[in-house]
Amino acid sequence: MPTTPVENLTETQAAEELARLAAELLAHDRRYHAEDAPTISDADYDALKRRNAEIEARFPELVRADSPSLKVGAAPSGAFGQVVHAKPMLSLDNVFSDEDVVDFVASVRRFLSLGETAELVFTAEPKIDGLSMSLRYEKGALVTAATRGDGTTGENVTANIRTISEIPQQLPKGVPDVLEVRGEVYMRRDDFLDLQKRMAESGQTFANPRNSAAGSLRQKNPEVTRSRPLKFFAYAWGETSAPLGATQFDAVQQLGRWGFVVNERMKRCATLDEMLAQYRAIEAERAALPYDIDGVVYKVDRLDLQERLGFRSRSPRWATAHKFPAEKATTTLLAIDIQVGRTGALTPVARLEPVTVGGVVVVNATLHNEDYIKGIGNDGNRIRPDDHDIRVGDTVTIQRAGDVIPQILDIVPDKRPKDATPYQFPDRCPACGSHAVREEGEVVRRCTGGLICPAQAVERLRHFVSRNAFDIEGLGEKQIEFFFGAEDEALRVRSPADIFTLRERQKSSLTKLENIDGFGAVSVKKLFDAIDARRSVETSRFLYGLGIRHIGETNARRLARHFVSFGALRAVAEAARIPDGKGDKGNEAWQELNAVNGIGDVVAEALVEFFAEDHNREVVDALLKEVTPRDEEQVGGVETQFTGKTIVFTGGLERMSRDEAKAMAERLGAKTAGSVSKKTDLVVAGPGAGSKLKQAEALGIEVIDEEEWFRRVEG
């Protein structure tokens, strides 16, 4: 990562670095969430995000909206009915140090244009390590209960929730007619250990209380759930027909008065010092608490300020989770394997002597990339002493980063075997033998085999059927590998379209799937039915499933919501290209694509390049013969005068920050863009507006000032 101080950057350098950071962070998010193969540590990732934030703070006119956003949970499975949340259930951003908390508070003040001395109260409470749940009450009666799912749609687990004694079935008089109570289903540690003893007799166990709670809640038979000791903490709400209070603290206490269990360790904090003191007090209690926690959650207390702050694509601006340091352990490194992802990335994985870390048995850990093995960070500087490269046979210190993904931190040098030799990272792909190259500026080595590489092909298919893409039940890792390698053409799946022709090809084949070990008549029928059920999917899922580089779930949704239909999106992407496959930055199609809020040059070029390749278009065309992408539903709630319109904010705004203005417009159903084009409907211009204002006037686009914007919003 460049080390030029932010204050020394020129505007051109800042713009170039923001583009690079956006692309790099998006790539790391994809490796972490989609490929389960992160290539950097949490600390390095956070450093990239901080660098991005510092540059944006100095150059507000260069702020890009295409920084990657972590996915919200996972798409709901097909095992339960689905519930669309009236208000999205978003996840929280994480911070890991006191300095990060300082930055978080400063960002809130900056967004709200509050000076350092202005009162700003936060609540601080334990972050329960459980399963997020939304309970909907109508006229006081529990009507539905749903998991977070992908944040928009969750699993309907109402029957199972009714078996939890701590969750009221009927609320007292005086509650709002519509009330969605949100919180965490969890299991106490002592109850978990008792359950483990009982389940061990049948050969079933869970890794930890959180997994136990999630598994217990997703039982198809509610009586099984009833036999599990589940509990519930309430700490938030979704849709309500009447306000619960003026502050976060008062609203949660009101939930307590209505019969919900709320956490007694929730506290108001009037200063940053009080927030950090509460964090340390809760951390000191962690081991003695009867339930698992993994951090402390800070929330802006005043609900009117929460409303002003609004949300990013996946998380609220008014809250964050201060995570506890990861737990550590030492063990022996038995081997280093190389995994090949769907983009060709070669990721080293450590095979370990099994060790328990934080209640979970760890046998594998990420080694990120070849530089990390040598002890070199992404900035080119050493992160461990020269002789602390990682070798097979070493005794290593591991931690579960964020209590989730295990990673190797360092070695124990005095325990290194005498015959241990430095690890030689392969320069050829272990799956296809093609050259593995490392492009300038990249920390990842990639296979050049492309379509001939079976590992990449299999990973692309696994991605296509994954929960957040097409979500085809019954097509897991083993099944994809089986169908990909099948000798009989009637069973072979090499492209997405092959999945949807499998049933028909089976009819004319002598080889019947139900006669093969591991399959049966019932499972085969369920598989084919699950495939047929996905012959129509939302445009965002269709786009995400294609596995286009830099287009994760968030960017797929942004593009789908802007263009609505897949056909319209594809037409613009194809119209934007020039013969070499890059985007023609001078044409109208490119400008429209690049103006989509959150989509910058890197993402736009990835989309254009994808549709510029003949093979990709053939794959998509074949898939479209089998699958119909549904037009994307627009988000925004009640229709307003701004619904569906594209708005650009430019110049200095006095009553609100630029981010706050965009958030307000999007809540009203509008689309916000970073540049003016013929597709722009309205420009809100403040003092100092420059080229965007001139372009709007030249195109005859309506321009209003900030005061007129507020008159229209309030009118």
Question: What whole-number distance in Å separates Cα of residue 686 and Cα of residue 654?
Answer: 8
pLDDT at 44: 63
3-state helix, strand, coil in the chain (%, to 5): 40, 20, 40
| Same-domain check for residues 529 and 543 | no
* pLDDT for the residue numbered 35: 40
Domain range enclosing 526:
472-533
String of DSSP letters for 470-514: T--TT--HHHHHHHHH-SSGGG---SHHHHHHHHHHHHT-SS-GG
Q: Is 181 within a domain? A: yes
Please indicate, yes or no, if residue 462 is contained in any of the structural domains: no
Q: What is the CATH number of the domain that holds 615?
A: 1.10.150.20
CATH number for the domain that contains residue 692: 3.40.50.10190
Residues 512 and 420 in one domain: no
Please give the pLDDT value at position 711. 81
In-domain check, residue 641: no
577 DSSP β-pair partners: 583
565/655 same-domain check:
no
The pLDDT value given to residue 136: 96
- By DSSP bridging, strand 82-84 and strand 178-186 are unpaired
**What is the per-residue pLDDT for 141?**
95
Which of 323, 341, 359 is the last residue in one of the domains? 323
- Residue 569, in any domain of the structure: yes
Mean pLDDT by 10 residues, the chain (715 residues): 69 80 71 46 63 75 53 45 88 90 94 91 95 95 91 88 93 95 93 78 65 81 86 96 96 96 96 96 86 93 94 87 83 93 87 77 86 85 88 90 71 92 93 83 79 80 88 87 86 91 83 80 89 92 88 86 90 80 72 79 85 84 94 68 85 76 79 83 85 87 88 77
For 344-378, b/e burial (b = at least 16 CB within 10 A) is bbbbbbbebeebebbbbebeebbbbbbbbbbbbbb
Name the domain count of the chain: 6
- Residue finishing a domain among 489, 508, 533: 533
H or E segment and range at residue 301:
none
> pLDDT value at position 133?
95
* 306 and 341 fall within a common domain: no
694 is catalytic: no
Instruction: Decide which of 323, 355, 380 is a domain's last residue.
Output: 323
Do 580 and 708 reside in the same domain of the chain? no
What's the half-sphere exposure (Cβ side, CA atoms, 13 Å) at 310? 19
Give the CATH number, domain containing residue 428. Answer: 2.40.50.140
Q: Are 263 and 395 in the same domain? A: no
Q: Could you tell me if residue 453 is inside a domain? A: no
Query: What CATH number is given to the structural domain containing 170?
Result: 3.30.470.30
Whether 53 and 115 share a structural domain: no
Q: Write down the pLDDT at residue 39.
A: 61
Please identify which of the residues 49, 71, 87, 127 carries the catalytic annotation: 127
Same domain, 550 and 626: yes
Please report, as a single letter, which amino acid is at residue 678: K
460 assigned to some structural domain: no
Residues 300 and 343 placed together within one structural domain of the fold: no
Question: Are 504 and 428 contacting, i.e. CB atoms less than 8 angstroms apart?
Answer: no
Crossing angle between the packed helical segments 601-612 and 588-595, to the nearest 10 degrees: 130
Residue 679: name the closest of 668, 691, 695, 664 by CA.
695
Pairing mode, strands 178-186 and 293-300: unpaired
Say if 637 falls within a structural domain. no
**Contacts for 477 with CB less than 8 Å, ≥ 6 apart:** 462
CATH number of the domain within which 32 lies: 1.10.287.610
Whether 365 and 347 share a structural domain:
yes
Residue 307 and residue 332 in one domain: no
Q: What is the pTM of this model?
A: 0.51
Report CA-CA distances (Å) from 445 to 36, 343, 549.
17, 11, 16
The CA-based dihedral angle spanning residues 468, 474, 480, 481, taken in that order and rounded to the nearest 10 degrees = 130
Q: DSSP character for 259?
A: T
Q: What is the pLDDT of residue 252?
A: 97
User: Phi-psi category of 441—alpha, beta or left, where left has phi over 0 and alpha has psi -120 to 50?
Assistant: left
**511 and 562 fall within a common domain:** no
In DSSP terms, 624 is beta-bridged to none
First to last CA, the chain: 48
Q: Is residue 354 part of a domain?
A: yes
